[in-house]
Amino acid sequence: MPRKKRKTPEEKLSILKEGELKGVLETCRKHNIAESTYYDWRYRFEEGGYEALKPPSRNGIDPELARLREENARLKKLLAEKELALEIKEELVKKRSRERGQVRGGRDVYGPGGGPLLRPLPGGPGQIHLPLPAQGGQAGSPGPRIYP
């Protein structure tokens, strides 16, 4: 038995108009549809207009709603990727600042471990900065550093 062709909303609307003009029984026989189908289409058209004549989606979800859900999921994924990229950049900046030592006024003030490297002295570039005394009073600490 051949499968029945589904009617488009335009075809359904033209059948409804024809049924009003020529009669429901004659129109249904001509188009090979049941009277109950005709009345179902007419009820749906009266209640919801042309949009109600469109066939329901196969999964029971309105196609527009499905499209909006897909777009929402895509945008959420995009936002998550951007947030992850931003978080990675922030971590890199923190890591690099710890590795290089914090810079204050163009001079290294803190060492790689976060501890003090030099005692900042008042004055501008070209000043001598004395290293902090070594822990435990060890002799042989490096001499003063001169920064341009």
pLDDT at 73: 96
What is the DSSP-derived secondary structure letter of residue 128? Answer: E
Tens digit of pLDDT per residue, the chain (148 long)? 556 778 888 999 999 999 999 999 999 999 999 999 999 999 999 988 888 888 766 666 777 888 899 999 999 999 999 999 999 999 999 888 887 765 555 444 555 555 555 555 555 555 555 555 555 545 555 555 555 5
60's tokens: 């029971």
Which residues are within 8 A (CB) of 74 and not within 5 positions of it... i.e. 6 or more apart?
Answer: none
pLDDT at 69: 92
Domain extent listing, the chain: 9-55
CA–CA distance, 121 with 12 (Å, rounded to integer): 90
CA–CA distance, 36 with 9 (Å, rounded to integer): 17
Helix, strand, coil % (nearest 5) of the chain?
55, 10, 35
pLDDT at 55: 77
Q: Which residues of 26-40 are buried (b: 16+ CB within 10 A; e: fewer)?
A: ebbeebebeeeebee
Give CA 51 to chain center in angstroms.
31
